[in-house]
Amino acid sequence: MDLDMSINAPHSMGTTIIGVTYNGGVVLGADSRTSTGMYVANRASDKITQLTDNVYVCRSGSAADSQIVSDYVRYFLHQHTIQLGQPATVKVAANLIRLISYNNKNMLETGLIVGGWDKYEGGKIYGIPLGGTLIEQPFAIGGSGSSYLYGFFDQEWKEGMTKDEAEKLVVKAVSLAIARDGASGGVVRTVIINSEGVTRNFYPGDKLPLWHEELEPQNSLLDILNAPEPMNT
């Protein structure tokens, strides 16, 4: 493999993104690894982007494509809110993303999960995969790490979960994907959206559960060599 080709490859978020509904709102979660070919370009990127005060989007695929779609939709929703005098609903935000993704499906390489809460329908999750289809789901998973999670979610997801149960499920699922998927890694970020507002949480990589064949975090050999010698008393 050509070294220059890998270094100069487009930034891609080989990713794990998740959206889960619970009794009262939604929880969104994502890992933080952005790759450029075989290299990790950013190990702590934020893949959960705010669209409005009550709607967020999880981004996967091409980093550039997902960012420009998010920027356009944020601008349109801002205009929509000014004209109506009230916040946009989750469905409106999801439909805007669907419209842009479908109309540009030959050029865009991004899959998105929209989640949020509004006073009309409560917490909602919408998946918009490649091609611009819009699917309302009780939970949605996307990105390269999602391949390892379908069976897990079929078994573990249940209706009427509490907020804590939903967040624990999301963190556990992302950590499972990180363990198996080479394109997912770093930290886990979650966003909880309900009638009370938005809560962001951060779970560093060394605090995530370890799974089969994963190794405990070790200090770098360089850290050990450069450590000051203990003083003799």
Supply the residues annotated as catalytic.
Answer: 15
DSSP-based three-state secondary structure for 188: strand
Tokens of 226: 């450069």
Terminal-to-terminal C-alpha distance of the chain:
55
Strand stretches in the chain, DSSP E: 11-13, 17-22, 25-30, 34-36, 39-42, 48-50, 55-62, 110-118, 122-128, 135-136, 139-142, 188-194, 197-203
| Longest distance between any two alpha carbons in the chain, whole Å | 74
CA distance 133 to 27: 22
Q: Which residues contact 58 (CB under 8 A, 6 or more apart)?
A: 17, 18, 19, 28, 29, 30, 47, 48, 49, 112, 113, 114, 115, 142
Q: What is the CA radius of gyration of the chain?
A: 19
CA distance 158 to 142: 19
